[in-house]
Amino acid sequence: SQKFVVDPDSGSADFWILSDLCKSNCGDSGTKYKTSSSSAVDANKNFNIQYGAGSTSGKLYRDTAKLGDLTVRNLTIGAASHISSELASDPAGGILGLGFRQITSAGQKTFLDRLFTQEKLKSQVVSFAFGRSAKKTLSKAEMRFGDVNSQLYSGDISYSPVTTKGYWQFGVQSFAAGSGSGINLDSIVDTGTSLIAVEESQAAKFWKDVPNSKFDQEQGYYTYPCSQKINAVLKTKDGKSWPIEEDDFNLGSLTATSDRCVGAVFPAQTRNVVVLGIVFLKNAYSVLDYSQNRVGLA
């Protein structure tokens, strides 16, 4: 058997890894999937995936995968023959998509489809906790299949139904700075994104409530006075609030001597949803409930 390091990504649905089909610009993640392995079955299909940053393509195979003590058989695996420079610089050798089948590259059953059909787990959920290096809490970060870890959150889990199957997309009351009106678009939980992405016009709506903020056209992000508190908060439709800590939202000063800082909400093509990346997810315990098509936050 071969071992791989992959990024868990709730914002996509394909599972792919670097393979021996890749001959150049393949990054330096080490192990490559052997398509000649006796367990690899050629699915006679190609795949091509475009992410927010980066792309990959190759051939689809079926094989058995193990994650911890879980075994998933007949899993469709993308054997990457090409990866873009953005993905080549990632220390991981692939991406484990945790989204729904509707957004797979070839309509194949996903890792979660196979897992929850084959393994008898306590519940059909994936739960996430993220730590912070600055607070030395990275050891508390975990991805858990089949259950939640009540040691890592307090209070009740607040659930919102998935509004459009594909991404882990749910309705919100607002996402705003302070007491501003902000944005009231659907949001998606995306463990494969670092920051918080919204359409250009929606980013402008968010930032208008931050005094002295301005858009840096050249760099593609918003800046604001470092002394300014943002008080960014997501409000779900049940009236609960999920604030983002200032240290998570503030990405640091423009230069070593600048008094202006870069903010975590930036404009991108997001299909008119708010993409909630790790900056937000550090501030909530998140649960992807596959059997009941809902997203939980605690």
Which SS3 state, helix, strand or coil, does residue 138 take? helix
Q: Would residue 69 show up in a list of annotated catalytic residues for this protein?
A: no
As a whole number of Å, the CA-based R_g of the chain is 20
Other beta carbons within 10 Å of 255: 8
Q: Would residue 190 show up in a list of annotated catalytic residues for this protein?
A: yes
DSSP 74: E
Other beta carbons within 10 Å of 151: 9
Active-site choice (9, 14, 63, 289): 9
Alpha carbons 98 and 216: distance in angstroms, whole number = 33
The burial of 78, by beta-carbon neighbours within 10 Å (0-12 exposed, 13-18 middle, 19 or more buried), is given as: buried
**Residue given tokens 């439709």 in the structure block:** 237
Active-site choice (14, 190, 248, 289): 190
How is residue 178 written in tokens? 């302070």
Active site residues: 9, 190
